[in-house]
Amino acid sequence: MNVLVLNCGSACTKFAVVHATDGHVHVAGKIEPLGSGQSALELQHEGRSERRTVAGESIDAALRTVHELLRELGLLGGLLGIGHRVVHGGAKFSTSILITPEVITKIKECIPLGPLHNPWNVRGIEVAHEFLPELPQVAVFDTAFHQTMPPRSYLYAVPYAWFLEHEVRRYGFHGTSHRYVSELAVKQLGLDPDDHAIVTAHLGKGCSLAAVRNGQSLDTTMGLTPLEGVVMDTRSGNIDPSIIAHMKKQLSCSMDEVMEKLNEGSGLLGISGVSKDMLTLERAADSGNERARLAIDKFCYSVSKAAAGMFVSLGRVDALVFTGGIGENQAKVRAQIIGLLSFAGFALDPKANEAHGRGQGGRITRSTSPMAAVIPTNEEFMIARDTAEIVARESSLAARWGGGGRLRAVR
């Protein structure tokens, strides 16, 4: 029941071999930075860590390295399929799906919506099929979980023709994480499976919140792209769109250069001028760096403000769940966010807040308060689980496309 989980990007290829039932990770790692001429493989295998230099700097070379590693570790024979993280599925995909030539065509049609991610996701699918043609492959989309949003959540107040003709709307991201954490919250926090209202806060390098009612996403903070929403490590989050034209004129630069600054030079890094890493900023703030403190304050304010908006989407809130690198590990950030939500009755339990995180989940508010909790995410397990379920359910089609058949986009 092992699945090879792949996340192929322009600068990094991440991989893991995950048991689809119990979530055991046999090996996990990443190859980065791609395209630099100095790529390295970092891996963890059954309790040991290792770093190796690797030849080549493309996704092709990275997946060749993964293939050779799995052969070396004796893990190739036990694979039942390959699960791919695909960032943007547009409105074409509302669930994970077995990859066929028609599916690849539709993923490519979403490239205009996800130009920074989808080309690399597609290349990863194609190269994986070249190395392991006998294995069926499944696409798991960041956007799919949010396809249950109603029009009032996903529409922008722009000319309606933009939506009809150019697919301009909110799609949302981190859907695999929001789905996993909300499902686990129902089980771990004792919520009613058929009647619950959860706000999930995935706070990491990228950050997004989602309003989940009875297992369905009703709203989320990211939009057409992952740039919209709350403050992130290097992304601005919500801004006045006129800033783009204004700074293009002020800096005498291209729109692409402004967009690069909003994606790579804004957020925590842009405000602080120190770092995009929250722990580094906390240390700087404790040492008296006012801009580091301002960056943290702006981050916490934007998250709490977005959470309050999610309460409106749900009509009530049974639980606020923190996950992701910051959400799981930064107790001070959680405390500040909960403090800003005290108007809604949230009251932190300081000891519980300090005790949870770094792999340990649990409630962090007082028993008389609305519930807030930490639940570590596990996107790789969700991808492995989806892959195993789809391969089993669609065994005849999986055999056709995983049995050495040619997997090319329909033209």
Spans of all domains in the chain: 2-141, 191-377
pLDDT tens digit sequence for 123-175: 999 999 999 999 999 999 999 999 999 999 999 999 999 999 999 999 999 99
CA distance to 42, 214, 327, 341, per residue, from 372 (Å): 34, 17, 12, 11
Q: Which of 409, 389, 330, 387 is nearest to 364 (CA)?
A: 330
204 annotated as ligand-binding = yes
CA distance to 189, 191, 305, 364, per residue, from 329 (Å): 19, 24, 21, 13
pLDDT band of residue 410 (cuts 50, 70, 90) is: very low
Helix (H) or strand (E) holding 153: helix 151-154
What is the percent of the chain with per-residue pLDDT over 70, rounded to a whole number?
Answer: 96
Res 332: pLDDT: 98
Distance CA 198, CA 357 (A): 19
Topology match between the domains 2-141 and 191-377? yes
End-to-end CA distance of the chain: 34
Task: Over range 224-229, report the average pLDDT.
Answer: 97
Res 261: pLDDT: 98
Q: Are 82 and 98 in contact (CB under 8 A)?
A: no
Q: Which of 22, 60, 142, 318 is catalytic?
A: 142
Q: Are 5 and 16 in contact (CB under 8 A)?
A: yes
Average pLDDT, the chain: 95
Is domain 2-141 annotated with CATH 3.30.1490.20? no
Q: Catalytic site residue 195?
A: no
Q: Which of 52, 50, 66, 94 is nearest to 6 (CA)?
A: 66
404 annotated as ligand-binding = no
Please name the residue that has the structure tokens 């309460």.
311
Res 411: pLDDT: 40
2 annotated as ligand-binding = no
Q: Judge whether residue 186 has pLDDT over 60.
A: yes
pLDDT tens digit sequence for 23-82: 999 999 999 888 767 789 999 998 899 998 887 778 999 999 999 999 999 999 999 999
328 annotated as ligand-binding = yes
pLDDT band of residue 257 (cuts 50, 70, 90) is: very high
Q: Which of 5, 69, 65, 61 is nearest to 35 (CA)?
A: 61
Per DSSP, the three-state class of 332 is helix
* CATH, domain 191-377, list 3.30.420.40, 3.90.1150.10, 3.40.630.30, 3.30.43.10: 3.30.420.40
Please name the residue that has the structure tokens 């007082």.
366
Q: Judge whether residue 94 has pLDDT over 60.
A: yes
